[in-house]
Structure 1
Amino acid sequence: MRLIAAKDCHRTRWKNDGGWTTELARDPADDATDFRWRVSIAEIESDGPFSAFPGIARDLLLLEGNGIELDIDDNAPVRLTRRFERVHFNGESRVHCRLLAGPTRDFNVMVRRDALRAEVVARPLVGSMVIFPEPGVEWFVHAFAGHASARGGTGELALETGASLHLDFHGADAGRVLLDGAGELVLVKFAPVAGG
């Protein structure tokens, strides 16, 4: 288990000046290396195109704000207007974003399609939940609101609002992790693809 505090995450301005990205984590951690997966929070301040990421699968969840509308390739526009609504698309797709009424904050997950698939879900935490180990599977847990504690074989960690937890179940001796607390979590499960 690895705790990622909000204060340790780097916030950078977009090249097109349309917003900000705060990277929560990536694997590998080296910025100079192409990532297997990357998790970030985007603050979208103006309409404009998304950057292209060929070979990447993307998931975007609305966290805060009145919503966005996305034109993805030649498909019908997709609107996200409710908190935790999600859209999935390919990184090489042509995507244009329109704000519906003011800026938004959005949770972004990117994975290399030839190596991983990501399952992304937001849910309330009321009491306890258990994450069981699976071979080759990693989890990313973001505390969007409230607080939680995580107990596993390596001890106990506390998550406050804005903090995240990376769970790596690659080890043969990995045991289950118990999450306990009150609030709202965004959970990402990274699982290897066949032959990846």
Structure 2
Amino acid sequence: MTALRLLRAHDYRRMAWKNGGGITTEIARSAGDDEFDWRISIAEIAQDGDFSIFPGIDRELMLLDGGGVELLIGDDAAVALTQRYQKHAFPGEAPVSCRLLDGPTRDFNVMVRRGRYAAELLARPIVGAQLLFPAAATSWIVHVAQGHAVVNHHAELPRIEAGETLVIDFAQSGGAPLVLNGGGELVLVKLTRPG
């Protein structure tokens, strides 16, 4: 059995960063008010500053819009995200600050609790069919960054427009893949629970 849940902009939650330094639009998260095993959001960065600390969380940030952002992570060399869909992973307990390179940015943010979930973050154009294969203990978060998408053989689901998100939970492996068609660009997150 595959569970599908369509999330629209009015389903998302806007909130201040934990450290008060910015705004996050939370798209989806695992159950729990304060603690989460996974969380998907879009951050609006309007000024240079520090990121919130999330001990025990693995994070990955992908540039969606804007002139780029430079990440300073602990004692590591600075990492510049200057191209749309460029991404970088880092531990949530590391001290991270950012410097905007050319004005505000919007960034896709994936957080998973280490040891409970693993995440794979991808950006894909919708050119022809996009196939998502069922696998046990796997969920897909499909965010339409631009354009639209349609899930084949699921007439109950309306067309998924830009800014909307489809959450797909696969209960078991095998079976037919879920087929997405349309035109535009997707940000995909594959969430897996270790075995």
Please confirm whether the aligned pair reaches a TM-score higher than 0.5, indicating the same fold: yes
Q: Which residue of 1 aligns with 2:104?
A: 103
Q: Deviations over 1:15-74 (max 9, x none)?
A: 55532100000011x424x11110000000111111111111001000000011111110
Write the distance in 2 (CA, Å) between the matches of 1:65 and 1:172: 39
What amino acid does structure 1 have at the position aligned with 2:185? E
Deviation at 1:7, TM superposition (A): 2.1
CA distance in 1, matches of 2:62, 2:141: 15
Which whole-Å CA distance do the structure 2 matches of 1:38 and 1:145 have between them?
21
Q: Could you say what secondary structure the match of 2:10 adopts?
A: helix
1:7 counterpart (7, 10, 33)? 10
Structure 2: gaps spanning 5 or more residues: none
Rounded to whole Å, the distance in 1 between the matches of 2:136 and 2:74 is 36
Distance across 1 between alignment mates of 2:56 and 2:155: 35
- Describe how 1:167-186 pairs up with structure 2 within 5 A: 167-171=168-172, 175-186=176-187
| RMSD of equivalent CA atoms | 1.8
Answering whether residue 30 of structure 2 is matched by residue 23 of structure 1, we say no
Match runs of 1:49-128 below 5 Å: 49-128=50-129
- Normalising by structure 1, what TM-score? 0.91
Gap runs ≥5 in structure 1: none
Alpha-carbon shift at residue 193 of structure 1 (Å): 2.3
- State the match for 1:160 in structure 2: 161
**Distance change in 2, residues 1:15/1:55 (3 Å):** closer
> Structure 2 length as normaliser, TM-score?
0.92
Q: For 1:69 and 1:98, how far apart are their aligned partners in 2?
A: 5
Secondary structure in 1 aligned to 2:163? Answer: coil
Aligned residues: 192
One-letter identity of the residue aligned with 1:160: E
> In structure 1, the residue corresponding to 2:77 is in which secondary structure?
coil
Do the aligned partners of 2:17 and 2:52 also contact (CA within 8 Å) in 1?
no
